[in-house]
Amino acid sequence: MAEEHDRSMMENLYWWGIPTLFRTPYEALSDQDIVLVGVPHSTGNGTTERDQHLGPRAVRHVSALQRRVHGEFQIDPWSSAKIADIGDVPLPRANDNEDCIQQITDFYQKIGKAQARPVSIGGDHSITGGIVQGIANSALTDGRPVSFLHLDAHTDVFTKVDHFLGAKKSAAHWGAYLADQGQVDPTTSMQIGLRGHPRTLDWLQPSYDYGYNVVTMKEYRKRGAADVIAQAREVLKDRPVYITFDLDCLDPTVAPAVSNIEPGVTGFSMDEAVELLHSVRGLNIVGGDVVCLMPTKDSPNNITAMGAAAVMFEMISMIAETIKKM
């Protein structure tokens, strides 16, 4: 009993031991229910804010602190589902964005075929394009495109030019090309929290043209959380839901270490963001990602990395709760 107590105490010390995501076992993809994946990719942001590839390592460092039971859901996700850290997507040509997106797609196609549900930590937001290319229209989604719950300060539905600083399938383009390829259904997808002072007055028009259900931060504040959550549940019900969470949807005081920071308009608090994540609780969540962590800009206590782990924990818990009920 004493040895078990000591082991439990040590596992809560995030600086101790060999780091895996949430101290899950490090395993090859097999029969897991949920797989945790690092995607250390930065070149989807062109030549700017390149340190996002350090995100997976930073979250592995601190995530043991977030290996908890879920008090609100009253579950222990780690015993409710078979969960493993299956490592990082290998990116041997890391400065070639288009090759990296294909490598990510190839990696996630195997996950989709195995019908494991991936929860990933990036990496810049271009990784969502590679991930969804891999899992959409697969066995995991019953052959259907995914529907997004997309929390972000930016639309990432960029159509004005064909690349961002040389990156074609960039952090700014995935919301458009996935729709063009039939891997996401914009009409059954939500984009929530868009804010900031844009460079052009028509910055939201591409999202509207594709049919995304857009809720800007201003609209969220005016309508209130309950109304937006009710819309999200109605739009996303009966769909294979993929959650993509850009940390810049959070207010900079909550998550200072993000790329493309938007300080001019107040972003979500952590409580608000978690409440919106819970809008898809009980639905068919096929996976999720957390992106745009910049560890080199984080505070000494790693608060943004810890916030990223906390968001992953919510995704993992919602999926585990659904699996437990199956």
Q: What is the mean pLDDT of residues 233-241?
A: 98
Residue 279 confidence (pLDDT) above 80: yes
131-140, 157-166, 223-232, 301-310: the lowest-pLDDT one: 157-166
Strand partners, 26: 85
Q: Structure pTM?
A: 0.96
pLDDT for 47? 64
Cα dihedral 256/260/266/272 (nearest 10): -70
Assign domain 2-16+32-325 one CATH number from 2.40.50.180, 3.40.800.10, 3.40.50.300, 3.30.450.40.
Answer: 3.40.800.10
Spans of all domains in the chain: 2-16+32-325
